[in-house]
Every structure is written in structure tokens, then in C-alpha cells.
């Protein structure tokens, strides 16, 4: 699997607090090993080309698009904001 970070994703990640940025990196490592890992809650947003994975149990999600072989990381933000922007 290949992950490509968009400029938007890179900028959003850079603005995160250190602990959240660490959690983002861990979620992506887990995703690379096992996209169906239950902790990630990998899901397709309704009526959208975007999919999301959970960064933590609290509020952070990563938005991406693509297929099983390659995903573009589009954004990382609070769950409610990801749903409004991409859902």
C-alpha cells in the first residue's frame, strides 16, 4: 500500500499539538500494517469519495481518498469538521 500526503494534510498535521501528531503517525503505521484494524474505524463517508480513519478515541480523524493500493492523505482534523468538509 502507498500513502501520499497532500500539501493540505502536511500543513494540518504540522499545526497539531505534539501528542496528536504522534497519534496521527501511529494511526498511519497501523493503517499500513492492517487497514481493517478495528481501532481505526476505516470507513467511507456517505455519498462521498472520501474515507476516514480514527486517530484517537476522542476527536481526531484523517480524511483520505483512493483505492486499496494507493491513498492520498487529504486532511487531519476533528471528527465533526472532517464530516462537514468531506462527508
The CATH number corresponding to 2-86 among 2.40.50.140, 3.40.50.300, 3.30.70.260, 3.30.2310.20 equals: 3.30.2310.20
| pLDDT tens digits along 39-62 | 999 999 999 999 999 999 889 999
Q: What is the pTM of this model?
A: 0.94
At 67, the pLDDT band (50, 70, 90 cuts) reads confident
Compute the distance between CA of residue 62 and CA of residue 73 in angstroms, rounded to an integer: 7
**Cα dihedral 56, 78, 10, 44 sign:** positive
Kindly list the domain boundaries of the chain, sorted by start residue. 2-86
Compute the distance between CA of residue 23 and CA of residue 11 in angstroms, rounded to an integer: 16
Longest pairwise C-alpha distance within the chain: 33
Amino acid at each position: 500500500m502507498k500513502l501520499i500526503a497532500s500539501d493540505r494534510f502536511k500543513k494540518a498535521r504540522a499545526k497539531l499539538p505534539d501528542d496528536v501528531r504522534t497519534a496521527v503517525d501511529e494511526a498511519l503505521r497501523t493503517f499500513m500494517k492492517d487497514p481493517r484494524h478495528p481501532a481505526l474505524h476505516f470507513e467511507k463517508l456517505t455519498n462521498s469519495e472520501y474515507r476516514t480513519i480514527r486517530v484517537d478515541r476522542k476527536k481526531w480523524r484523517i480524511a483520505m481518498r483512493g483505492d486499496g493500493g494507493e491513498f492520498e492523505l487529504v486532511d487531519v482534523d476533528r471528527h465533526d469538521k472532517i464530516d462537514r468538509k468531506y462527508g
